[in-house]
Structure 1
Amino acid sequence: MPLSHHFVLKRLNAALLLALAGAAHAQTLQEVVVSASRQEQKSFDAPASIQAVGQDVIEAAGPRVNLSESLNRVPGITVLNRQNYAQDLQLSIRGSGARSPFGIRGARLIVDGIPATMPDGQGQASTISLPSAQRIEVLRGPLAQLYGNSAGGVVQVVTADGPATPEARVSIDAGSDALRRYGLQLAGQSGSLNYVIDHSDFSTDGWRANSAAKRKHTNAKLRWEANDQTRVTLVANVFDQPVSGDPLGLTREQAQANPRQVATPSTLYRAGKEVSQEQLGLVADHRIDAQSELTARVYAGQRTLDNRLSVPLSAQTSATSAGGAVHLDRHYDGTGLRYARRIPVGQGQLSLSAGVDLERMREHRLGYINNLGVLGALKRDEDDSVESTGLYTQADWAINEDWSAVAGLRANRVQFKVEDHYIRAGNPDDSGRADFRATNPVIGLTRHLGADTNVYVNVGRGFETPTQTEIAYTANGSGPNLNLKAARSTHAELGVKTKLGESQRLDLAVFHIATRDEIVVATSVGGRTVYTNAGKTRRSGIELAHSAQWTPEWRSHLAFSTLDARFDQAFTSGGAKVASGNRIPGVMNRSLFGELVWQPKALAGFSAALELVHRGSMVVDDINSDRTAAATLFNLRLGWEQKIGSWRLRETLRVDNLTDKATIGSVIANDANKRFFEPAPGRQWSAGVVASYAF
């Protein structure tokens, strides 16, 4: 066994002995999820690696601004807060998506049944409203491939329903670096209409220079029970981020000298972005009879973005350059239809489902000279579009008390189209098309060893197309790189879920992923990143989650992951030879989250928790020229709750990184300027108050 694995197991044993494991409440043992079968079921019964965090955990984990606050307690997923609201979080599931320089890549994001991932596979986590979320699910493994392109995993967010008694909620959060979040929520039930309307206003000065951000976010869910058979849900989301500076990465020397500084181009070119998005979705559920149901969804949205990049002026003026400032006007829409039926078969029951997903994205992209923060001449003018069609079917067969099986098939087609309107001397017409197709099967088998233990094995195929951003440039000349291939992968996992008595649950999974035509960075020079296919890669690892209610006053939760992600074939990146066996950059090789929670009976409404967060190392580029150091951090949180008449009050206090340890929070893989490192803050505090009034 490699030395690093001995190190991790030693830490794991120590954590277990100290009970530094923490849990989302005892309800974790029976949490409800929908991602595995698209129908509500207990996560323990789902034949896949899937965990969820509930509303109580989301509220206790921080000011409810970023997914990174609460998802560190889920094994198999890494969500890194880059301290950079212009580039969003770095989210990776089993190593998929780690190369993304911005946005979410390689995972499907779904909010209340509506995709938050575009048909090309690129998504944004910033538009997710956490103050109104009831739970967040994370599905890993082969079953995620049934969600289509770039589904290395699925993150699904479900907005809470309004309570039976209408209530108003006001929340205030404050923290380090002038962090402020103000929230107002109205929720309740009025006849057959259930409603949740949530608004929040967030701002921060940022931990690093040029990293200030402001956001306004409104999320609404209206659910109408038309009758006993039909339910219609309307979801509306409005997001506005008028300020978000981009501090860029730092070289190792810069990060060690002053981790809060920025590279000169960040301020010289006023790097940052302004973005707004509006979206409306409608989901209708109709029960045809006792055994069958039909679900339909339709949605549409628009997104505008102005992004100032730190591209040197000398590189912007070339004939084929797209400039250093981007204006994007995007419109997107989609529809989906799913039919499900349950059929008695032998001793068990067969649940069949079939559906179609149609997604479309159209955007007008303009590029300008960024003349030290001032908009200059036009350098790019094009219309881009991506259309995706997915047909899928899934069968879940409860064969008998001892066995169950799952099988699925998804056929996908993703079409890219570029219409170039910027045609000049030295910059020809770069219009073109690309078409990607894949048919991906999944099959699994579960052995039920009594009511308290399930053992499952799943195998499936997946694919990942390049995104619109990744096909934007070619190595020589202008125009899109329409010769990029889609990455094809084979996923296999073996897992066990067991209840250790009434108050403990253990989930363990072992997996292996083999990929060919992995999409990687070929060159990154002068603000232009060109991608290529790298041949074969492999990812394998172990994931463990343990939750326990030791006594009425003490509970714990543990999430542990290892991930060995490597290139299986040599290739050339940026003119350098990448050896077979090199680690894939941006992928964390291990992680550990432990939490011990105390809720004393003598202090009703009070809770205290100590968290342990261990992060392994990440290499910074394909040639593995440098890497981050592993780090172990401790966090402390305190909470109080009171009920006074119709009022319910909740106060929280958090201190993250108690020991004020200097660490690197994330890396920018393959940065041409060797500014790979994005430092993480030292000791940080946050406090919040929520006041709810029931009418």
Structure 2
Amino acid sequence: MPRATFRARGVYSLERAPMHATGRTLSRFSIFPLASLLAMPAATAQTADEKTLPDVVVSASRSEQRQFDAPAAVSSIAVDPFTAASPLVNLSELTLTVPGIAVRDRQNYAQDLQIAVRGFGSRSTFGVRGVRLFVDGIPATMPDGQGQASTFDLANASRVEVLRGPFAQMYGNASGGVVQVFTPDPPRDGFTGRAATGFGSDGQWQAGVALAGGNDRLGGSLDAWTYQTDGYRDHSAARRYQLNAKIVAQPTTATKITGQFNYFTQPLAEDPLGLTRAQADANPRQAVPAATQFNTGKDVEQTQAGVVVEHQLNERDSLNFRLYGGGRQLTQRLGFSGAAPSSAGGIVDLDRTYGGTALAWTRKTTANGLPLQWTAGIEANAMRDARHGYVNDNGQQGALRRDETDEAADYGAFAQFNWTVHPAWELVGGLRASMVRLRIDDHYVTAASPDDSGTSTYHNVSPVAGVVWHAHDTLNVYANLGRGFETPTLTEVAYGPGGVGANLGLQASTSRQGEIGVKWQAAGQKVEAALFDADSHDEVVPVSNNAGRTVYQNVNGVRRRGLELGWRGTFGQAQQWGAGLGYTYLSAYFGEAYLNAQGLQVAAGNRLPGTARHSLGAELTYRPLAPLMLGVEARADSQVYADDLNTQAAPGYMVFNLKAGYEFRLGRTRLYLFGRIDNLADRHYIGSVIVNEANGRYFEPAAGRRFFLGLRASM
């Protein structure tokens, strides 16, 4: 049997021996049990086949492995911040050919991106919910299940991983999918520096610098970036600044300590609000009068620090520890006055503190002479919001209408295993127990505003089981089953029926998921396919009301089923051509009829708003010369409904983008000049919808034809 050896970086290196039955190369510890929390940084070394297919992942198993060997539908997106032919501001720039995930750029930095995985998260009208977000193993999703992707450090990322299917449930509350961003460790043998700038249509401007250096024992990196835009639409300007630091210490060969610090501020993010279909068709750049009257938008500042410790106890046992904390201050101006006593006000002022810790123990052993690995761990995360609401007096802060302290906490314990029961077969499974508690302490109590204080606690046990058949060196087949849950967020329990009071009676949504997948790769080509099915009970559904607030209710029988296909490869003389394609068929619908807040019946079979039945992303690149890259991209979505009644819809569309990049040198400095034209045909289309928007303004138009030019320098 092959023997595992421990490398200084804390990652197991695997010796391989040929299998007698199939000829497949066997990794004794090829798949680590799925740990829900702590992900190790990426290795810098690659095997020969990984140099052509850079697909190392950790999302579906805590130790590093090839995406090809992962026992789940997981995609690894390699990011080169120096040669990427885009500004690397939004996650939507990187997920074009990844099946199963929809990332919609709303052209609205006050509301963040819409991110959905297999239909989970598509109904969110703010931030990201239903999908867990992580950066270098630190959660970017709060304990109540709501997260923000705006703080991702994409301009200094090394890869992005997207985990889909049942195994995502092991990440706890609101894990319809998992998105993890990884940044590189500092160099261990010197100093590197990089600077970048760029500009584009609609007043876009970006600039940044990244510095890193170190040795075998200690290294550090620092990067700072800014992005500004006047916005495609009226009243949609934004400015954001970001500072990130990372320190990696390795006092012994058995211990690695990674410290992180992140600062993000967005002092300007105007909100143009949604448009009706007629308004979007007449002038997609316009903002409704309420946007300027109430100066709708958001100002936010966030600071976070964390540490991850990886320690190898002996040849078999290892520990992984995480500790993090931060603060977030937000002011958001909404598009209504909030003057009525029953309303909580049109300006939200929030001061948040949050943090968490986790510990995982891993053991590598054998059973019946074959590899067995298991992990056990615990975690705790908490947040506390001091929340105030005021009347929006034509953009100015008016009378107090809301004063409360909101708290959310989640606690989890998990155990997971991976057992090679036969050289060609592996069993994987796990169990996670979770508790989530939401609490509201209402300090604004008057005759017209009764005490809305209360607590709601949710418990859940999520089992996951799967099997992997390593049919051949070039072919893997897997199947998984699991259960998960998703609690309401603090924002979703804020308003009861009629838009007043709290809604702490909302239940957590539970889901049963299954998938069957196949992965094949050979001769520079990689193909993946998966069939999936998910059935949700007590789905949390947004329902509009007359007070201008959104309240939520539970409905049963929500189904999400579909097919994912992905392909990526190189071909032609000297591999000059590269291509990728991701296609998703998603049938997401209400399996049972229900009554909404207006007493109207939503029919069984109605499609889930915010989901496209067909989604396609494709990319083709050509390198006629080594330093020159030319490329074309295509993106297409079918019709997307905007409301539960399926009376309003954004039409399907297909758009094309062009891009180019050229690398050259000036002395010892490497330079990279790139440019792109998005929406080449200047097509007018709806980029995203605001699900069940109270005023019927469901539609957020996408940008027309626009360009971006950038220059990066590295030494």
TM-score computed with the length of structure 2 as normaliser: 0.91
Q: 1:434 to 1:189 in 2, by over 3 A?
A: same
Which residue identity is paired with 1:295? N
- Matches of 2:457 and 2:137, distance apart in 1: 27
Q: In structure 2, which of residues 576, 594, 597 is the aligned counterpart of residue 571 of structure 1? A: 594
Which residue identity is paired with 2:327? Q
Q: In structure 2, which of residues 94, 111, 124 is the aligned counterpart of residue 100 of structure 1? A: 124
- Matches of 2:386 and 2:571, distance apart in 1: 57
User: What's the CA shift string for 1:370-403, capped at 9, x where partnerless?
Assistant: 0000110110000010010011111111222210
C-alpha contact (below 8 Å) 1:391/1:410 kept by paired residues: yes
Determine whether 1:343 maps to 2:365.
yes
Give the aligned partner of residue 683 of structure 2. Answer: 661
Q: 1:59 to 1:115 in 2, by over 3 A?
A: farther
C-alpha contact (below 8 Å) 1:583/1:622 kept by paired residues: yes
Q: 1:607 to 1:61 in 2, by over 3 A?
A: closer
How far the C-alpha of 1:641 sits from its partner, in A, is 1.0
How far the C-alpha of 1:476 sits from its partner, in A, is 4.0
Q: 1:516 to 1:194 in 2, by over 3 A?
A: same
How far the C-alpha of 1:328 sits from its partner, in A, is 0.0
How far the C-alpha of 1:190 sits from its partner, in A, is 3.5
Give the aligned partner of residue 263 of structure 2. Answer: 238
Which residue identity is paired with 2:596? S
C-alpha contact (below 8 Å) 2:641/2:648 kept by paired residues: yes
Give the aligned partner of residue 134 of structure 2. Answer: 110
Q: In structure 2, which of residues 85, 89, 96 is the aligned counterpart of residue 65 of structure 1? A: 89
Matches within 5 A, 1:15-164: 27=51, 29-56=53-80, 60-163=84-187, 164=189
Determine whether 1:175 maps to 2:197.
no
Give the aligned partner of residue 577 of structure 2. Answer: 554
User: What's the CA shift string for 1:51-72, capped at 9, x where partnerless?
Assistant: 1111238952521110011112
Deviation larger for 268-277 or 523-532: 523-532
Which residue identity is paired with 2:271? D
Structure 1 stretches lacking a partner, 5+ long = 1-24
Matches within 5 A, 1:357-372: 357-372=379-394
Deviation larger for 317-326 or 364-373: 317-326
- Matches of 2:328 and 2:184, distance apart in 1: 25
Which residue identity is paired with 1:447? W
C-alpha contact (below 8 Å) 1:319/1:425 kept by paired residues: no
C-alpha contact (below 8 Å) 1:26/1:549 kept by paired residues: no
Matches within 5 A, 1:324-403: 324-403=346-425
- Matches of 2:355 and 2:342, distance apart in 1: 32
Q: 1:32 to 1:248 in 2, by over 3 A?
A: same
How far the C-alpha of 1:341 sits from its partner, in A, is 1.0
- Matches of 1:111 and 1:28, distance apart in 2: 25
Return structure 1 stretches of 4+ with deviation > 4 angstroms: 25-28
Give the aligned partner of residue 34 of structure 2. Answer: none
Determine whether 1:512 maps to 2:533.
yes
C-alpha contact (below 8 Å) 1:489/1:514 kept by paired residues: yes
- 3-state SS, counterpart of residue 177 of structure 1: helix
C-alpha contact (below 8 Å) 2:476/2:520 kept by paired residues: yes
- Matches of 1:564 and 1:431, distance apart in 2: 39
- Matches of 2:281 and 2:494, distance apart in 1: 34
Which residue identity is paired with 1:537? V
How far the C-alpha of 1:30 sits from its partner, in A, is 4.5
Give the aligned partner of residue 466 of structure 1. Answer: 488
C-alpha contact (below 8 Å) 2:408/2:437 kept by paired residues: yes
Matches within 5 A, 1:427-576: 427-476=449-498, 478-499=500-521, 501-551=522-572, 552-575=575-598, 576=600
- Matches of 2:82 and 2:548, distance apart in 1: 37
- Matches of 1:365 and 1:116, distance apart in 2: 20
- 3-state SS, counterpart of residue 424 of structure 1: coil
- Matches of 2:388 and 2:237, distance apart in 1: 25
How far the C-alpha of 1:29 sits from its partner, in A, is 2.9
Q: 1:524 to 1:329 in 2, by over 3 A?
A: same
Which residue identity is paired with 1:570? A
How far the C-alpha of 1:527 sits from its partner, in A, is 2.7
Which residue identity is paired with 1:298? L
- Matches of 2:354 and 2:219, distance apart in 1: 27
Determine whether 1:286 maps to 2:311.
yes
User: What's the CA shift string for 1:471-504, capped at 9, x where partnerless?
Assistant: 00001473210100000000000000011x3211
| CA RMSD across the alignment | 1.4
- Matches of 1:204 and 1:28, distance apart in 2: 37
Which residue identity is paired with 1:531? Y
Structure 2 stretches lacking a partner, 5+ long = 1-48
How far the C-alpha of 1:27 sits from its partner, in A, is 4.5
C-alpha contact (below 8 Å) 2:365/2:373 kept by paired residues: yes
Give the aligned partner of residue 405 of structure 1. Answer: 427
TM-score computed with the length of structure 1 as normaliser: 0.94
How far the C-alpha of 1:367 sits from its partner, in A, is 0.4
- Matches of 2:299 and 2:314, distance apart in 1: 49
- How many residue pairs match? The answer is 663
Give the aligned partner of residue 6 of structure 1. Answer: none
